[in-house]
Amino acid sequence: MAWDPVWEQVYRERAWGRYPGEDVVRFAMGHYGRAAPRAGVRMLEVGCGTGANLWFLAREGFSVTGLDRSDTAVRLCGERLDAECPGWRQAGGEVRTGDLLRLPDPDASFDAVIDVVAICYSGFDEAAQAYRELARVTKPGGRLFSRTFARGCWGEGTGEPAGRGMWACGEGPLKGYGATRFTAREEVPALIDGWDVERIEESAHTEADGAHWIRHLLIHGVKR
């Protein structure tokens, strides 16, 4: 899957993502918080970075697997989980470097899969292929949570066009992180191929003293 090596440099040079987003917390605890035992719930996060979401999930007792293309991110993630989440590996946890389009996991391996602004750094067709691969490794009735940049987000339409809905942004917080894809709500059913759309929420906040909006779609899917 396409990956910009700028992320390897990012993870080497700056602290990145210590704590999970509230949307991830709501997803995990809303659907699986009452599971007993929680270690029986297997969750996969793609583009896990240094492990902010996996840290939360492992501390809550879920069995976690993380995937990222950055060797540095995977190393830092594993080190943090080892230090702060005792027993996470014994619960079946793993963090690895790999390609999202070629997951080594058998069919129907996971109860839930999570993507937090990772797949949006690939083109539309490749992203649809990635969602199909995530569906393959998810159990029937299992769930998808995907946060992706939405149309109207600061950065869209600036810099250089890079494909359907994609921009190598010339300004804003996404500048310098490779080409980013901005998704319209009506594109979601075709994008998350292999999943039924349960619902699509939206989140937004301003930056630069209210001058610009950062917009996300929060996509909830169910494995067919």
Q: What confidence score (pLDDT) does residue 58 get? A: 98
Q: What is the pLDDT of residue 15?
A: 66
71-119 confidence digits (pLDDT tens): 999 999 999 999 999 999 999 999 999 999 999 999 999 999 999 999 9
3-state class (DSSP) for residue 66: strand
Q: Where are the beta strands (DSSP E) in 31-165?
A: 42-46, 63-68, 94-97, 110-116, 138-149, 160-163
Distances (CA, A) of 8 to 11, 115, 129: 5, 18, 24
pLDDT over 80 at 2, yes or no = no
The CA–CA distances, whole Å, from 168 to 63, 150, 165, 171 equal: 36, 15, 10, 9
pTM of the predicted model, to two decimals?
Answer: 0.95
157 alpha-carbon distance from chain centroid: 23
Instruction: For residue range 139-162, list pLDDT tens digits in order.
Output: 999 999 999 999 999 999 999 999
Residues facing 94 on adjacent strands: 65
Torsion angle, CA of 213/214/215/220, rounded to 10 degrees? -160
SS3 at position 197: strand
**Tens digits of residue pLDDT in 15-37:** 677 899 999 999 999 999 999 99
Domains detected in the chain: 6-223 (3.40.50.150)
On the 0-12 / 13-18 / 19+ scale of CB atoms within 10 A, 208 is: exposed
For residue 193, is pLDDT > 80?
yes
* Per-residue confidence (pLDDT) for residue 104, from 0 to 100: 95
